[in-house]
Amino acid sequence: MKTGSPLGPWAIGWRIIAPVAALAVLTTGQFLKTNDYFPLGSLSQYSTARDLNGQVKTAYLLARFPGSDEDVNLSLNLRVVGIERGDVESQLGNIIADPSMLQTIADGYARLHPGEPQPTHLTLCRSITQLKNGVETGEPEHIVLAEWQVR
């Protein structure tokens, strides 16, 4: 295979057939709304319409440290706890069913913050903000999704 040499029928054929097959998978991925075919899965980010009078829900993590009665917000990102908020929000059902998964997040914090005070208790929460005509109304509601006593 030399640069500039002409392409034979086989070389042209697979270069057409393979992309057509990939496009078929990508198209199927959209209609099935699945990320399973990654990198040919659903291009779903921001694809779901949001109601102008609906709710905006956001997951966040609270941590209690030794000697304090107040919970502090721990940002859900790679730098702070070693995992992104998107990964946590994608697995909310699993975490609610098995709050021990929060121990993994506590372990991530410990690894990324050696020598610093470690949380004794984690609370995974959700804030819910009500919209009216696309404008937020009042204070957000906060609910607890899962709690974990750090080991």
Binding interface with other proteins (CB under 8 A):
1-4, 6-7, 11-12, 15-16, 19, 22-23, 26-27, 30-31, 33, 35-52, 54, 56, 58, 78, 82-84, 86-91, 101, 104, 107-108, 111, 129, 131, 133-136
Listing DSSP states for 80-148 in one string gives TTSS-HHHHHHTHHHHHH-TTHHHHHHHHHHHHSTTS---SEEEEEEEEEEEETTEEEEEEEEEEEEEE
Closest distance between other proteins and the C-beta of residue 98, in Å? Answer: 8
Closest distance between other proteins and the C-beta of residue 3, in Å? Answer: 5
Specify the residue, 17 or 72, whose C-beta has the smaller distance to other proteins.
17
Specify the residue, 91 or 120, whose C-beta has the smaller distance to other proteins.
91
Taking CA atoms, 69 is separated from 65, 89, 119, 120, 121, in Å, by: 8, 27, 12, 11, 11
Closest distance between other proteins and the C-beta of residue 68, in Å? Answer: 26
The pair of structure tokens assigned to 49 is 């319409």
Task: Using CB atoms within 10 Å of the CB of residue 65, give its burial: 0 to 12 exposed, 13 to 18 middle, 19+ buried.
Answer: middle
Specify the residue, 71 or 110, whose C-beta has the smaller distance to other proteins.
110
Specify the residue, 13 or 68, whose C-beta has the smaller distance to other proteins.
13
Closest distance between other proteins and the C-beta of residue 124, in Å? Answer: 14
